[in-house]
Structure 1
Amino acid sequence: MTNSTDTQQKKGGFKKFLFITILVILAIGASITYYKYYFVFGEGVKSGYLNYAVKKGNVFKTYEGKLIQEGFGQMKAGGVASNQFEFSIEDDTVFKQLESNSGKYFDLHYKEYHGALPWRGNTVYIVDKVISMK
C-alpha cells in the first residue's frame, strides 16, 4: 500500500517539476524576445536631407526611408562617402509627410531596437515623429 502511494507522489513531483521548468523556459524566452525586439535601446534625433520615403515589401508592406546627413562619411577607396541614415516608419501620417516632401531638410526623432521585426520595417531604427522640416 505504501509502495503505490510513493509512486503517486513521485509522479506528482515530476509533473510539478516539469510544469515549473516549462514556465521558467517560457519566461526566459519571453524576456529575450522582449529585449531583442521591443526594448527601446536608444532614441535620438537625426538631421539631414530626405533622399526617399517608400512603401515596400513582399509579405509585409512597410515604410522605409533614407536621410542624407551633412558632412563626410568614412573614406572609401578613391572617393568620399556621405553619411546615410536608413530607417523604417510605423506611422502613416509621418510617412505621408515625408513622402510629400522628399529632398527637404528634416529633423527626425527615432527609436533604436536590438532587432528588426518584418511587420515593423527592415531596420532597427524606427522614426516616430518629424520634429522640424526646412
Structure 2
Amino acid sequence: MSPRVLIADDESDIRALVEIAVRRAGAQVLDSLPDGTAALAAAGRDLPDLVVLDVGMPGLDGLQVCTALRADTRTADVPVLLLSAGASPADVERGLAAGADTYLLKPFRVSELADRIRELTGDPR
C-alpha cells in the first residue's frame, strides 16, 4: 500500500503542486486542506504516513500544528515536512524546533518535493 500524505496549505495552487509531488513520489493524498485546524483534526481521525504543512496559515499555523502532532502519542512519530517562504536560518530553526523532520523553502521544485516525500516515507527510489 502506498504511503498516505496529509497536506495543509491555505493557497490552493500550492496544494495542487504538493498533490502532484505526492503522486510523483508514489504516494497518495489522504487529504488536502486549507488550514491547520482542519489538518490537525484530520490527522487525529485517520493517521497519515506524512504531513506536509505550510508554515503561514490562518488559525493554527504549521508550527502550531507540528507542535500539537508531536505532543499527541498517536501522531508523535508521523514525519512532518514544513513548507514556507521564510528563508532565514532562524525560520528554519523554528520549524525544526517545533518538531519538523525537514523544511523546504517556497518556491520549490515539484521534483525536489517528491524526493523529500520519498525520503520521509521510506521509499529511497
**Pairwise same-fold verdict (TM > 0.5):** no
Query: TM-score when scaled to structure 2?
Result: 0.26
Higher strand share: 1
- TM-score of the superposed pair, with normalisation by structure 1: 0.25
Larger radius of gyration: 1
**Structure with the bigger percentage of helix:** 2
